[in-house]
């Protein structure tokens, strides 16, 4: 159970304060449970519940950033050749995450993996001759890499209709199309994982407080951090002092880090990232037909943000889509209101 205390004592001096109740703080709370089980850890979450922002499953696309379909990790050079270095590095990091989660599952710290990770094919889709050239070059660059050995490539619309039927529905048969598919893809529910990790951490003494917004972080002369926390319901401020503070506040991290005055934050900025999600209640047949998760690339999109995505995934209860400039209009009943995903 999340501590919902309006009574964080002024004199509380935990070893560690974790700001934000998303997947980042939850992961660190788990790590502390393994490597420093004697340390006292306190989590402050501004919202009314844990994992209510980016980590919530409805607010992200859930690819786990494995680089299997995210085209922004495989940029093409001026000669058209694709550099796989970043994709390989990202996928290696994702494998480390999976190993960590396996460790937690074996240790009984997260329940069943089915509660937060499930297999979903990842598909990248492009149109036009330039898109096709890029996709071939990307496939050539990745296929030799052991982590991408299962990647498939196709330009035949009949194959793509099998892979991504909704994306192909109603499309001009003369249009040049291409895609890659990885059946090794996964859907990670970071919201569920966050809650599982923090619930386990709380059984080991971690205190997770909701409705507590961190307003200020200052270094004291003894090296400790003075953390000023405001109860969002009563407006009452409190202070706690900690040896270490981790700012896992998502979009709220930057201003807080700037307030600390640490030199490392100089020069950092942020830009808004958003996503529109389409939830279908049309039933299992529609869900089944959108099972793959796909991302698309359009040359015009690169001017602003290098890549935009069209992402579909399915769960047992419903289907959700994160929209980008769609390569083709989906059926009118499922057309997203606008397109805005950039990663």
Ligand X SMILES: Cc1cc2nc3c(=O)[nH]c(=O)nc-3n(C[C@H](O)[C@H](O)[C@H](O)COP(=O)(O)OP(=O)(O)OC[C@H]3O[C@@H](n4cnc5c(N)ncnc54)[C@H](O)[C@@H]3O)c2cc1C
What does the binding site for ligand X look like in residue numbers (CB under 6 A)? 19-25, 44-47, 52-55, 59-65, 190, 213-214, 248-250, 252, 256, 273, 275, 341, 343
Using alpha carbons, list the distances in angstroms from residue 338 to 55, 113, 245.
Answer: 22, 33, 38
Quote the least distance from Cβ 94 to ligand X, whole Å.
8
Least distance from ligand X to the Cβ atom of residue 43, Å: 9
Query: Could you tell me the smallest distance in angstroms from the CB atom of residue 214 to ligand X?
Result: 4
Residues near 82 by beta carbon (within 8 Å), at least 6 away in sequence: 74, 75, 76, 134, 137, 138, 140, 141, 142
Our CB check for ligand X shows the closer of 74 and 341 to be 341
C-alpha to C-alpha distance for 176 and 178, rounded to whole angstroms: 7
Q: Alpha-carbon distance 47 to 18, whole Å?
A: 14
Minimum distance from residue 230 beta carbon to ligand X (Å): 9
> In the complex with ligand X, which residue's Cβ is closer, 30 or 55?
55
Spatial distance between the Cα atoms of 247 and 20, rounded to a whole number of angstroms: 7
Task: Report the residue number, 179 or 214, with the smaller CB distance to ligand X.
Answer: 214
For ligand X, give the closer residue by CB, 45 or 200.
45
In the complex with ligand X, which residue's Cβ is closer, 46 or 245?
Answer: 46
The 3-class secondary structure across 130-169, one letter per residue, is HHHHHHHHHHHHHHCCHHHCCCEEECCHHHHHHHCHHHHC
Output the smallest distance, CB 322 to ligand X, in A.
Answer: 6
- Which candidate, 167, 190, 172, 142, places its Cα nearest to that of 297? 167
Q: Give the length of the chain.
A: 343
Nearer to ligand X, 141 or 245 (CB): 245
**In the complex, minimum distance from the CB of residue 45 to ligand X, in angstroms, rounded to a whole number:** 5
Pairwise CA distance, residues 27 & 162, whole Å? 37
């Amino acid at each position: 159970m999340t501590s919902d205390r309006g009574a964080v004592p002024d004199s509380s001096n935990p070893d560690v304060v974790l700001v934000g109740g998303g997947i980042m703080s939850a992961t660190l709370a788990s790590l502390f449970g393994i490597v420093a089980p004697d340390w006292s850890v306190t989590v402050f979450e501004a919202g009314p519940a844990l994992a209510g922002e980016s980590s919530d499953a409805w607010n992200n696309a859930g690819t786990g950033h494995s680089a299997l379909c995210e085209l922004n990790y495989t940029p093409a050079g001026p000669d058209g050749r694709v550099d796989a270095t970043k994709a390989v590095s990202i996928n290696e990091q994702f494998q480390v995450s999976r190993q960590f989660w396996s460790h937690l599952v074996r240790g009984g710290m997260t329940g069943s993996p089915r509660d937060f990770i499930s297999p979903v094919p990842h598909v990248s889709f492009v149109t036009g001759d330039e898109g096709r050239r890029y996709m071939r070059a990307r496939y050539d660059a990745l296929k030799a890499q052991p982590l991408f050995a299962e990647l498939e490539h196709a330009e035949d619309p009949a194959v793509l209709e099998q892979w991504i039927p909704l994306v192909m529905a109603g499309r001009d048969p003369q249009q040049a199309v291409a895609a890659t598919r990885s059946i090794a893809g996964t859907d990670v529910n970071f919201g569920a994982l966050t809650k599982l990790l923090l619930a386990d951490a709380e059984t080991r003494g971690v205190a997770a407080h909701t409705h507590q917004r961190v307003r200020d972080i200052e270094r004291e002369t003894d090296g400790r951090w003075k953390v000023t926390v405001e109860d969002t319901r009563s407006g009452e401020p409190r202070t706690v002092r900690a040896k270490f503070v981790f700012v896992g506040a998502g979009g709220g991290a930057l201003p807080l880090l700037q307030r600390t005055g640490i030199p490392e934050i100089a020069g950092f900025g942020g830009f808004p990232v958003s996503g529109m999600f389409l939830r279908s209640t049309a039933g299992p047949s529609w869900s089944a037909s959108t099972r793959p998760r796909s991302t698309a690339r359009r040359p015009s999109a690169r001017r602003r943000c290098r890549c935009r995505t069209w992402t579909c995934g399915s769960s047992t209860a419903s289907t959700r889509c994160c929209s980008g400039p769609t390569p083709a209009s989906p059926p009118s009943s499922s057309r997203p209101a606008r397109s805005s995903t950039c990663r």
